[in-house]
């Protein structure tokens, strides 16, 4: 590991100021950043430890639930209110990593975790995300974990996390402090970016911006499901995952908030799906149509062609379960 200075931030303003210095990075649980520092994928000059800041509680706000940036994944998943009203979030978190990692992983760190593309994590390989302009090793390489939606000529990496997929389905908001723009709120659906021409930018955070919390809207009626398909039944990243909140009313679909993991550089949310599904009576034909819409521009440039039929089948399975449709 390269040498670095280590400082503890005293409050979010201090953290924002200190991380705006060139080469400075925030560290929370450290489970992603230290991993990448050992590999010299990340080489910060200064680590600004935000771990002791007062952002570690879950509070009921009038308009929903506020989860502090430092709340551990475990604390979120076991919170009685999350288990009762936002089970899709508890399920998504519990489907990720291990108890040891979830005990350390934080809300903000999890949102900002970097891709698991093995060309990104190997500094001997070309990678436009890690070393802009060096090329993309994954295109034409071994790339089973890679994206089929929203890719660019520069990068086909996926955002690997589970928690944010559920948060995208729930339409949660990320609260950000510091930076030139002052305090702001960004929907989770817009927090992560597509790779485009700047694949090194994973999300909309600018230098010196610190995440302080994520807020969930008031609970909604309906069935909540998180289905994660992976190469073994536990402790693996998603090939495809779906967070679904689906409500029925008089035999018709009244709500269909869906978000997808493993398919793109961000938790994927396609508003055309709710437009198509809401107001309709559930049927296998309708679910196939939804899959057609979701995948109409799907394109696999690595070895991830298998994800296209896998996403289709997973979507129809989730919609079948959520609407209790007989097949």
Ligand X SMILES: Cc1cc2nc3c(=O)[nH]c(=O)nc-3n(C[C@H](O)[C@H](O)[C@H](O)COP(=O)(O)OP(=O)(O)OC[C@H]3O[C@@H](n4cnc5c(N)ncnc54)[C@H](O)[C@@H]3O)c2cc1C
Binding site for another protein (CB under 8 A): 1, 3-6, 27, 29-31, 34-35, 38, 47, 49, 51, 74, 77-78, 83-84, 87, 90-91, 94-95, 97-101, 103-104, 234-235
Residues engaged in binding ligand X (CB under 6 A): 25-33, 35, 50, 69, 96-97, 101, 104-106, 108-110, 112-113, 161-163, 205, 210-211, 237
Identify the bridge partners of residue 186 per DSSP, sorted by sequence position. Answer: 174
Check residue 49 and report its DSSP letter.
E
Annotate 278-321 with DSSP letters as a single string: TTSPP-HHHHHHHHHHHTTT----SS-TTHHHHHHHHHHHHHHH
| Best CA proximity match to 119, nearest among 158, 149, 153, 148 | 158
In the complex, the smallest distance separating the C-beta of residue 240 from ligand SF4, rounded to whole angstroms, is 17
In the complex, the smallest distance separating the C-beta of residue 51 from ligand X, rounded to whole angstroms, is 8
Interface with ligand SF4: number of residues (CB under 6 A): 14
Annotate 230-276 with DSSP letters as a single string: -SSSSS---SEEEEEEEEEETTEEEEEEEEEESSSSS-B--HHHHHH
What is the number of alpha carbons within 13 Å of residue 326 lying toward its C-beta? 1
Q: Which stretch binds ligand SF4 (CB under 6 A): 77-85, 149-157, 167-175, 234-242?
A: 149-157
In the complex, the smallest distance separating the C-beta of residue 248 from ligand X, rounded to whole angstroms, is 30
* Residue 149 touching ligand SF4 (CB under 6 A): no
| Best CA proximity match to 277, nearest among 299, 248, 301, 298 | 248
Task: Name the E strands within the chain.
Answer: 5-8, 24-27, 46-49, 58-61, 64-68, 173-178, 184-187, 209-216, 223-229, 240-249, 252-261
* Residue 138 touching ligand SF4 (CB under 6 A): yes
Among 109, 199, 222, 267, binds ligand SF4 (CB under 6 A): 199
Which CB atom, from 275 or from 324, has the smaller least distance to another protein? 324
Q: Which does 49 bind (CB under 5 to 8 A by kind): another protein, ligand SF4, ligand X, none?
A: another protein
* Residue 127 touching ligand SF4 (CB under 6 A): yes
Distance in angstroms (rounded) separating the CA atoms of residues 257 and 168: 9
* Residue 145 touching ligand SF4 (CB under 6 A): no
Which CB atom, from 51 or from 199, has the smaller least distance to ligand SF4? 199
In the complex, the smallest distance separating the C-beta of residue 233 from another protein, rounded to whole angstroms, is 8
Identify the bridge partners of residue 243 per DSSP, sorted by sequence position. Answer: 226, 259
Distance in angstroms (rounded) separating the CA atoms of residues 142 and 140: 7
Distance in angstroms (rounded) separating the CA atoms of residues 68 and 268: 24
* Residue 128 touching ligand SF4 (CB under 6 A): yes
* Residue 156 touching ligand SF4 (CB under 6 A): yes
Which CB atom, from 176 or from 225, has the smaller least distance to ligand X? 176
- State whether residue 89 is helix, strand or coil: helix
Q: Which does 74 bind (CB under 5 to 8 A by kind): ligand X, another protein, ligand SF4, none?
A: another protein
In the complex, the smallest distance separating the C-beta of residue 34 from ligand SF4, rounded to whole angstroms, is 19
Q: What is the arrangement of strands in the sheet containing 46-49, beginning at the earlier edge strand?
A: 5-8, 46-49, 24-27
Which CB atom, from 139 or from 243, has the smaller least distance to another protein? 243
> What tokens appear for 206 in the block?
């600018």
In the complex, the smallest distance separating the C-beta of residue 161 from ligand X, rounded to whole angstroms, is 4
Residues that bind ligand SF4 (CB under 6 A): 115, 117, 119-120, 127-129, 136-138, 155-157, 199
């Amino acid at each position: 590991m390269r040498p670095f200075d280590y400082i503890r931030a005293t409050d979010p303003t201090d953290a924002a100021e200190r991380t705006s210095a060139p080469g400075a990075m925030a560290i929370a649980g450290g489970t992603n950043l230290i991993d990448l520092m050992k590999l010299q994928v990340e080489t910060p000059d200064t680590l600004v430890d935000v771990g002791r800041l007062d952002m570690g509680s879950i509070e009921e706000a009038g308009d929903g639930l506020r989860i502090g940036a430092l709340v551990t994944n475990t604390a979120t998943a076991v919170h009685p209110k999350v288990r009762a009203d936002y089970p899709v979030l508890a399920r998504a978190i519990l489907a990720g990593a291990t108890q040891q990692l979830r005990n350390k992983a934080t809300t903000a760190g999890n949102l900002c975790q970097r891709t698991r593309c093995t060309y990104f994590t190997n500094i001997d390989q070309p990678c436009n995300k890690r070393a802009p302009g060096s090329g993309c090793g994954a295109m034409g390489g071994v790339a089973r974990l890679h994206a089929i939606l929203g890719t660019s000529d520069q990068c086909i990496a996926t955002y690997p996390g589970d928690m944010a997929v559920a948060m995208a389905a729930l339409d949660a908001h990320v609260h950000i402090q510091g930076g030139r723009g002052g305090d702001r709120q960004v929907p989770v659906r817009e927090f992560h970016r597509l790779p485009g021409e700047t694949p090194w930018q994973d999300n909309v955070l600018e230098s010196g911006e610190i995440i302080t919390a994520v807020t969930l809207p008031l609970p909604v009626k309906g069935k909540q499901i998180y289905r994660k398909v992976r190469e073994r039944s536990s402790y693996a990243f998603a090939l495809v995952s779906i967070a679904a909140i689906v409500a029925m009313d008089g035999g018709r679909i009244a709500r269909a908030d869906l978000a997808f993991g493993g398919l793109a550089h961000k938790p994927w949310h396609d508003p055309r799906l709710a437009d198509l599904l809401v107001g309709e009576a559930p049927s296998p034909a309708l679910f196939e149509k939804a899959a057609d819409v979701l995948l109409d521009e799907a394109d696999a440039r690595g070895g991830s062609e298998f994800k296209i039929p896998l996403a289709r089948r997973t979507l129809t399975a989730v919609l079948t379960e959520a609407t209790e449709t007989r097949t």
